[in-house]
Amino acid sequence: MFAKRLENLHPYVPGEQPKDRDYIKLNANENPFPPHESVAAAIKTAVTEKIEKLGLYPDPDSTELRKAIADMLNETGGVLNTAKVSGNKCSPSEENKIPFSVTPDMIFCGNGSDEVLSFVFYTFFDSDRPLVLPEFTYSFYPVYCGYYNIPMNPIKLRKDWTLDTEKMLSEANKTDSCTIFANPNAPTGIEIKREDVAAMIRRAPKDRIFIVDEAYADFGKESCIPLLKEFDNLVIVRTFSKSLSFAGMRLGYVVSSPALIKSIFTVKNSFNHFPVDFLAQTAGTASCKAAAYYAKNAAAIVQERDKFSAFLRKNGWFVIDSRTNFVFAKKDGHSGEEIYETVKKAGILIRHFATKGIEDFVRITIGTPEQMKKLSEVLGTL
């Protein structure tokens, strides 16, 4: 009755979405701050003054949105929390200045970064060689490997939870394979320096694509976008969900060379010609034009993250240094499941993975200062 390929599917399990109680949600790495008011205004205008647009197909190329994304990246350097804010304008920090102008033909947009990743997997990864990736990383990568019948070569992390880049390079070169990882990594939160990523690409297979998933880069110190000046086999995946308060709207994008972007468009147009709807394009464009607002929010989240990490360490927790909007931590004498259940009883949701090797950890999204204060009170009892 069913296609044989169904046997290879192991669906992604998202963070718990509560239905029976009003929990404080710190389990899905959503942004605790609302979108900028101009986003709501743009949507309101769209559905009142341009209501006929809802009955028409959207721009299949997301032309205006791609220009807005390119402008935002040039304005911020691709790292919101380090951008310099003056009034309602941003400028990149010295270390994050992009040594070229990002142009719209370097941008591809999709319905969330998960769909964008799907297109990337189909475009660049083959079933005749394994994809090199970290053992612990974004759990949608193995899902797509199963979906597209792509073999995997997961590489164990080092004892300090960092990526074993030497082993990854060795394995990629051994099989002439593509490489993918999140930077900062998920769920560990560790960031690899841009120059270290460049060193990896220089030694990786030149005829294969190197994917860096920057879902959390706006909370880190650097972006790999400047590396596009040197490498034409680099693909950077990013999302609006985390730093741009867009998780409920769905919007993701790729930054790469125009040639590689063109190839992803070929895949998109062979599957779904209109993945980004009219309202998402409208709201996304407005978000990009309010970069200063989101830069302030990202900086506030980083400040709260570091404050919360210090609290945990002071109370006997092991906390991995995070460059994201979450922390990954554990406490001796308490299982991850026990911590999760204790916090849930107090009306707060955090994330626990039953995966062997990280089962004692919990992943905690950084919320508002008020939310983190309540969580700290609960965790202080452990």
Closest CA to 319 of 381, 242, 379: 379
Whole-angstrom distance, CA of residue 339 vs CA of residue 260: 44
- Asked if residue 331 and residue 267 are part of one domain, the reply reads no
> What single DSSP character describes residue 331?
B
Q: Which CB contacts under 8 angstroms, 24+ apart, belong to 139-145?
A: 139/12, 139/13, 140/12, 140/114, 141/117, 141/180, 142/10, 143/9, 143/10, 143/11, 143/12, 144/117, 144/118, 145/121
Residue 108: give its domain's CATH number. Answer: 3.40.640.10
- Residues 308-344 pLDDT 10s: 999 999 999 999 999 999 999 999 999 999 999 999 9
- Per-residue pLDDT, 12: 66
| Count of beta carbons in the 10 Å neighbourhood of residue 306 | 14
- Per-residue pLDDT, 301: 98
Give yes or no for residue 80 having a pLDDT over 80.
yes
Let me know the angle formed at the C-alpha of 180 by 322 and 126, rounded to the nearest 5 degrees.
Answer: 165
Quick one: tokens of 177? Answer: 């394979």
For the sheet with 210-213, list strands across it.
Answer: 107-110, 252-255, 234-239, 210-213, 179-182, 131-134, 152-155
Of the candidates 288, 313, 346, which is a domain's last residue? Answer: 288
- Per-residue pLDDT, 10: 72
- Residues 6-47 pLDDT 10s: 777 777 666 677 776 789 999 999 999 999 999 999 999 999
- Per-residue pLDDT, 187: 95
- Asked if residue 217 and residue 118 are part of one domain, the reply reads yes
Residue 241: which residues within 8 A CB-CB, separation 6 or more? 29, 30, 31, 112, 113, 215, 247, 250, 251, 252
Give yes or no for residue 288 having a pLDDT over 80.
yes
Decide: helix, strand or coil at residue 365: strand
- Residues 188-227 pLDDT 10s: 999 999 999 999 999 999 999 999 999 999 999 999 999 9
Rounded to two decimals, the pTM is 0.95
- Asked if residue 42 and residue 27 are part of one domain, the reply reads no
- Asked if residue 370 and residue 247 are part of one domain, the reply reads no
The parent domain of residue 63 ranges over 37-288
Look up tokens 């719209």; give the residue.
104
- Residues 150-170 pLDDT 10s: 999 999 999 999 999 999 999
- Asked if residue 263 and residue 319 are part of one domain, the reply reads no
- Asked if residue 251 and residue 120 are part of one domain, the reply reads yes
Instruction: Report the number of distinct structural domains present in the chain.
Output: 2
Q: Share the mean pLDDT of the chain.
A: 95
Quick one: tokens of 250? Answer: 């769905």
- Residues 213-267 pLDDT 10s: 999 999 999 999 999 999 999 999 999 999 999 999 999 999 999 999 999 999 9
Residue 336: give its domain's CATH number. Answer: 3.90.1150.10
- Asked if residue 240 and residue 95 are part of one domain, the reply reads yes
- Per-residue pLDDT, 7: 74
Whole-angstrom distance, CA of residue 369 vs CA of residue 193: 29
Phi-psi region of 35 (alpha: psi -120 to 50; beta: other; left: phi over 0): beta
Quick one: tokens of 1? Answer: 């009755």
- Asked if residue 276 and residue 345 are part of one domain, the reply reads no
- Asked if residue 125 and residue 26 are part of one domain, the reply reads no
Quick one: tokens of 243? Answer: 């730093």
Whole-angstrom distance, CA of residue 66 vs CA of residue 109: 7
Cβ pair 212, 186 in contact under 8 A: no
Cβ pair 212, 183 in contact under 8 A: yes
**Any bridge partners for residue 362, and if so which?**
329, 352
| Torsion angle, alpha carbons of 45, 47, 52, 53, to 10 | 80
Whole-angstrom distance, CA of residue 243 vs CA of residue 117: 18
Of the candidates 260, 288, 316, which is a domain's last residue? Answer: 288
Q: How confident is the model at residue 382 (pLDDT cuts 50, 70, 90)?
A: confident
Residue 106: which residues within 8 A CB-CB, separation 6 or more? 70, 228, 255, 256, 257, 258, 261
Of the candidates 288, 314, 333, which is a domain's last residue? Answer: 288
